[in-house]
Amino acid sequence: MLDERMQNALNEQINWEIYSSYLYFSMSAYFESISLKGFANWMRVQAMEELTHVKRFYNYVIERGGRVLFSEIKSPPNEWESPLHAFQEVIEHEKQVTSRINSLMDLAIELRDHATTSFLKWFIDEQVEEEASADEIIQSLKLNENNPGGLFLIDKDLAQRTFIPPQDIGI
Ligand code: FEO
């Protein structure tokens, strides 16, 4: 059985993961509005991946005999000054998520909850990847500032990203 503090913290993280998806869908809509279809595709894939993170936490709380409780999701922004500005927000957001995952891990260790410690390792690794991929795009955008041809090529590249539903979390 999950400790109540752990359950509350995991439920709070579910809210954050849903907000992450909400934010990235909003960024996708922003990129659609400025005709950067590849960027919009990348953000939609990101939004879908965030929903799989929701599902991982959801499954885990239930598996441990806990209760998933949902709360209000704040509204995301809808406009950004530029693609670079949007991706700078992505990385800032992901850094906050990383810090929250680290706090969850700290709590699991404090409670000597070894099962939750093991479960959270997947997210620790995932956050390294999430920050690295956003940073890579930021570097490309910085190199191509004031270069519409470069932006077009990045857009084409980001159009290639596909969503692969993980097989281990069910529907
Ligand atoms: Fe679910 Fe992007 O962290």
Q: What is the pLDDT along the chain (171 residues), one digit of tens a residue?
A: 899 999 999 999 999 999 999 999 999 999 999 999 999 999 999 999 999 999 999 999 999 999 999 999 999 999 999 999 999 999 999 999 999 999 999 999 999 999 999 999 999 999 999 999 999 999 999 999 989 999 999 999 999 999 999 999 998
Question: Per the domain annotation, does 8 fall within a domain?
Answer: yes
What is the crossing angle of helices 37-63 and 114-143, to 10°?
A: 170
Question: Per the domain annotation, does 64 fall within a domain?
Answer: yes
Question: Per the domain annotation, does 63 fall within a domain?
Answer: yes
Name residues contacting ligand 1 (CB within 6 A): 17, 20, 50, 53, 94, 97, 130
Task: Judge residue 84's burial from the number of C-beta atoms within 10 Å of its C-beta, 0-12 exposed, 13-18 middle, 19 or more buried.
Answer: middle
Question: Per the domain annotation, does 148 fall within a domain?
Answer: yes
Question: Per the domain annotation, does 160 fall within a domain?
Answer: yes
Res 78: pLDDT: 98
- Give the Å distance between the CA of 170 and the centre of ligand 1: 19
Res 92: pLDDT: 98
**Cα 40 to the center of its chain, rounded Å:** 15
- Give the Å distance between the CA of 147 and the centre of ligand 1: 30
Question: Per the domain annotation, does 62 fall within a domain?
Answer: yes
Res 159: pLDDT: 98
Radius of gyration of the chain (CA): 17
- Give the Å distance between the CA of 156 and the centre of ligand 1: 24
Res 171: pLDDT: 86
Q: Which atom of ligand 1 approaches the CA of 101 most closely?
A: 3
Res 1: pLDDT: 85
- Give the Å distance between the CA of 42 and the centre of ligand 1: 14
Question: Which residue range is the domain that position 150 belongs to?
Answer: 4-166
Neighbours of 47 (CB within 10 A): 19
Question: Per the domain annotation, does 171 fall within a domain?
Answer: no
Task: Judge residue 91's burial from the number of C-beta atoms within 10 Å of its C-beta, 0-12 exposed, 13-18 middle, 19 or more buried.
Answer: middle
Res 28: pLDDT: 98
Question: Per the domain annotation, does 108 fall within a domain?
Answer: yes
Task: Judge residue 41's burial from the number of C-beta atoms within 10 Å of its C-beta, 0-12 exposed, 13-18 middle, 19 or more buried.
Answer: buried
Q: How many structural domains does the chain have?
A: 1
CATH code of the domain containing 93: 1.20.1260.10
